[in-house]
Chains A and B, each alone.
Chain A
Amino acid sequence: MSLYVTIALKHILARKRQSFVSLLGIIIGVAFFLAIASLMQGSQNDFIKRLIDNSPHITVHDDYRSAKEQPVQRSYGKSVIELRSLQPLPETRGIRGYKQVVEDLKARPGVRASATLTGQAILNYAGKDNAIVLNGMIPADMKDLTTIEENMKVGGVDDLIANRNGIIVGAELTRRLMLDVGDNITLTASTGQVRTFKIVGIFQTGSLGYDDQQAFTDIKRVQAMMNKSNRANTIIVKMDDSGKARELASEIEARIGYKTVSWQEASEDIMSTLVIRNIIMYTVVSAVLLVAAFGIYNIIFTIIMEKQKDIAILKSMGFRSMDIKKIFVIQGCVLGVAGVIFGLPVGCILMYALSLITFNPPGASEPIRMPIDWSAPQFFIAGAFAFIAAVLASYLPAKKGASVLPVDILRGGQ
C-alpha cells in the first residue's frame, strides 16, 4: 500500500469516533440523495409514461402552421409583394389523401397509425344541450392507438366492432344523465343531422371533464353525420420508440404540409416544468450532502490542526507540500468512498421502504405505490456527487496543511 494511503488511514483510524460520525454524515447524505432522487426520477418517468401512453405520440392536424403560399408569392418572391388579411376559400376541411398517409406510416416498422374524424355533437337531455366531442375512429385500430380499452368500466372496443351503431361514452356523462349500457342516445351534429346511437361501453379515466364530454364511435358514422364522407381531420400515430416522435413528426410535416405535432412539442411546457422541478430537487438533496461535506471538512481540519508537528517533521524529512496535500485528500477520498459504499445500500433500503407506501390519488380506482426509479444513473449520480463533495471538502484543509512551514512549528517546540 502506498505510503500516503498508510499515513492517511492511520490518521483516520486513530480518531475512530470522530471519523465514524463524519462517515455517518456522508452515509445519510448519500442515502437520502439516492432515495429522494430516485423517487423524483421515478415519479417523473411515471408522469412522462402516462403522458406518452395516454395520448398519441404524433398527431397530424388538418391545419397548416402558416398560411398557404399564394401563386403570386411563388412568382414574385417575398421581397416584391406583400399580402395581408389573406382569406382562403371555405372548403370541406380534412386531411387530403389521409388513407395514403396512414398506409405509408403503417408500412414503417414499429409505427402504428390511424385516421380519426373528430367533431362536435349535441346531446339533448331534459331540455339542456350537452356538448359532446364525437371521436370517429376505426374500431379495430382503437385498441392499439388509444388507452380507452384499459379504462373501460363496462363493455369494450370489441362491442363497438360488433355494433357499428354503437357508441362508447364516459362514466360521468352516464352518471349525470342516468344512462347505462344498452340505452340509446340521440346526437345532433352541427350539420343538423340527427342520429341515434346505442351505448355499448362506458369508460372512466378519472378526469371528470374527459369522462363527461368525450365519446367514441365508428369513423364512418361521424363522416356521415358531419357530411365529410371519406375525410379525416386527425391522424394519430404511436411508435414503439416514442423518443423518435419529434424526428418522424417533422418528416411527415415536411412531406404532406399539414401541422404535425409530436408529444414532445405538445408537452414542452410540462417538460420545462419538470426541468425546474429537477433543479429544485437536486438543490435540496445536494444540501444534505453539503452538510455531510462540512463534517468531512471538519474532521480533516481537526486532524491537520492536531498534526502540525507531524506535518513539520515530514516536511523536514523531505516530504513535499504536494505529498502532504495528497495525504489529506486521500483521507477525504477514503471517507467519501466508504460513505458511498455504505450509503448506497442504506439508500436502497430507504427506496424499498418508500416503494412500499401506497396512497389513493383522487380519481384513481385503486391505491398506487410510490414510483421509484431503480436505474443505474441514480446510483451513479448519488455516488459521484458524494465522492466529489468529500474530495472538495478535504482539499481545502489539505491545502492549508500543505502550507505549514516546518520552521514555524519547530520554533514553537512541543
Chain B
Amino acid sequence: MMEPLLQARNLTRTLEGEIRVTLVKDVSLDIQTGHFTAITGPSGSGKSSLLYLLGLLDKPTTGEVFVDGVNTTRLSENSLAAFRLEKLGFIFQFHFLLPEFTALENVMLPMQRLGKRSPREQKDRAMELLESMGLKEQAHKLPKQMSGGQNQRTAIARALANDPALVMADEPTGNLDTHSAATVQQILRDIAHTPGRAVVAVTHDESFAAVADRRVHIVDGKIEGNPSL
C-alpha cells in the first residue's frame, strides 16, 4: 500500500481560558490518495477543528501531522504557509472570494503568489479551471454579480489552482440550494478520484456523506467507532 498522503497521529487541540475546552481529542487518521473522505458529526463535535488541524491552519496542542511524509508540527509559520500554498486547497462554507476581484482574478491569486507559472499560463489555467466548472461566461464577473453556486464553484477552481494533492472542504454545500449542492458534490468526487489527489470534506449533509469513499464520524472531538486508520 502507498504511503498515505496525510497522516495524523494522536491529535489533540485544547483552547486555554477560564474554562479549558477540548476541541479535538486524540485523533489519528490517514488520508490516502484517490479517496473522498467525509468527516461527519453533530455541530460542535469538533469536525471543523479537526479539518483545520489536518489543513495546517491550526497547530495541535499535542500530536503530529505528516504531509507527504514530512512532520509539519515543528515547521515555522512561513513553511506551513508554503505547504498550504503548494499542497493544499481550501473550500469553505462561504466562498470567501475577494470581493474586489473578478472570478478569473480570484482563481489566479494562488498561482500569482506561488509564481511558478508565467502570467500568461496563470490566466490560461484559471480560464481552464473556470471552464471545467462551467463558469466560462462568468470569468470576468465580480463575486457579487454571481449566484451562490457559481461563487462556490469559483472557490473550488481557486482551491485547485496550484494543483494541490489534498483538497480540504468545510461544509462546501452548506450554503447552497439542492441543485448547486449536487453539482459541487459531483465536482469534489471527481477531484478525489483524479490520480494523486484526495478530498477531505466536513459535512453534516447525509446525502453528501453517503457518496464518500470513507466516512469518519466525530463525536465530542473523538472518532466514533472504528477509526480504521
**Contact of B98 with A310 in the complex, beta carbons under 8 Å:** yes
Hey, which chain A residues are within 8 Å of B88, CB to CB? 318
Q: Chain B nearest CB: distance from A212 CB in Å? A: 76
Hey, which chain B residues are within 8 Å of A322, CB to CB? 78
Q: Chain A nearest CB: distance from B165 CB in Å? A: 14
Q: How far is the CA of A11 from the CA of B96 in the complex (A)?
A: 15
**Contact of A3 with B109 in the complex, beta carbons under 8 Å:** yes
Hey, which chain A residues are within 8 Å of B162, CB to CB? 318
Q: Which residue of B lies closest to A410 (CB)?
A: B92
Q: How extensive is the interface on chain B, given as a class?
A: 20 to 34
Answer whether residue A143 sits at the interface, using C-beta atoms and an 8 A cutoff: no
**Contact of A317 with B101 in the complex, beta carbons under 8 Å:** no
The number of residues on chain A lying at the interface, defined by a beta carbon within 8 Å of a beta carbon of chain B, is 27
**Contact of A318 with B100 in the complex, beta carbons under 8 Å:** no
Which residues of chain A from 279 to 324 have a CB within 8 Å of any chain B CB? 309-310, 312-323
Q: Which of B48, B88, B109 has the most CB of A within 10 A?
A: B109
Which residues of chain A from 399 to 414 have a CB within 8 Å of any chain B CB? 405-407, 410-411, 413-414
**Contact of A321 with B101 in the complex, beta carbons under 8 Å:** no
Answer whether residue B57 sits at the interface, using C-beta atoms and an 8 A cutoff: yes
Q: How far is the CA of A10 from the CA of B102 in the complex (A)?
A: 11
Hey, which chain A residues are within 8 Å of B77, CB to CB? 320-321
Answer whether residue B190 sits at the interface, using C-beta atoms and an 8 A cutoff: no
Q: How far is the CA of A288 from the CA of B184 in the complex (A)?
A: 55
Which residues of chain B from 166 to 206 have a CB within 8 Å of any chain A CB? 170
Q: Which of A316, A405, A414 has the most CB of B within 10 A?
A: A316
**Contact of A319 with B100 in the complex, beta carbons under 8 Å:** no
Answer whether residue B229 sits at the interface, using C-beta atoms and an 8 A cutoff: no
**Contact of B112 with A318 in the complex, beta carbons under 8 Å:** no
Q: How far is the CA of A323 from the CA of B85 in the complex (A)?
A: 13
**Contact of A317 with B57 in the complex, beta carbons under 8 Å:** no
Answer whether residue B121 sits at the interface, using C-beta atoms and an 8 A cutoff: no
**Contact of B96 with A320 in the complex, beta carbons under 8 Å:** no
Q: Which residue of A lies closest to B79 (CB)?
A: A320
Answer whether residue A81 sits at the interface, using C-beta atoms and an 8 A cutoff: no
**Contact of B101 with A318 in the complex, beta carbons under 8 Å:** no
A102-134 interface mask toward B, CB cutoff 8 Å, 1 = contact, 0 = none?
A: 000000000000000000000000000000000
**Contact of A316 with B90 in the complex, beta carbons under 8 Å:** yes
Q: How far is the CA of A411 from the CA of B52 in the complex (A)?
A: 9
Knowing A3-B113, A14-B100, A414-B94, the reply to whether A316 touches B48 (Cβ < 8 A) is no
Hey, which chain A residues are within 8 Å of B94, CB to CB? 413-414
Q: Chain B nearest CB: distance from A402 CB in Å? A: 10
Knowing A318-B114, A406-B57, A407-B57, the reply to whether A313 touches B81 (Cβ < 8 A) is no
Q: Which residue of A lies closest to B84 (CB)?
A: A318
Q: How far is the CA of A222 from the CA of B93 in the complex (A)?
A: 103
Answer whether residue A348 sits at the interface, using C-beta atoms and an 8 A cutoff: no
Q: Which residue of B lies closest to A320 (CB)?
A: B81
Hey, which chain B residues are within 8 Å of A410, CB to CB? 48, 52, 57, 92, 170
User: What are 11 A-B contacts defined by CB distance under 8 Å?
Assistant: A7-B98, A313-B96, A317-B85, A317-B113, A317-B158, A318-B84, A318-B114, A319-B113, A320-B78, A406-B57, A411-B48
6 nearest A-B residue pairs (beta carbon): A318-B85, A10-B100, A313-B96, A318-B84, A3-B112, A407-B58
Besides A323-B113, A411-B49, 6 more A-B contacts (Cβ < 8 Å) are A317-B84, A318-B85, A318-B110, A320-B81, A322-B78, A406-B57
